[in-house]
Amino acid sequence: MTLEKVRKWIKKAENDIKVAKDELNTENPVTDAICFHAQQAVEKLLKTF
């Protein structure tokens, strides 16, 4: 995997984390969506290794 692809995967993971955090801070957070985005972030970060 090239360095550019690694950076793209990290950016995508950061976006998933942002969505999860933003949803967590709402009045009625949708926990399954938070968990989904957290899992996706972890998966994408693992791909960078």
**Mean pLDDT across the stretch 15-29?**
97
Question: What's the rounded Cα separation, in Å, for the pair 26 and 8?
Answer: 28
Distance CA 33, CA 13 (A): 15
- Integer Cα distance of 2 and 26 in angstroms: 37
Q: Amino acid identity of 22?
A: D
Angle at CA 47, nearest 5°, toward 44 and 49? 130
* Distance, CA of 41 to CA of 45 (rounded, Å): 6
What share of the chain has pLDDT > 90, as a percent? Answer: 96
For residue 1, pLDDT beyond 90: no
pLDDT at residue 15, rounded to an integer: 98
pLDDT in tens, 31-48: 999 999 999 999 999 999
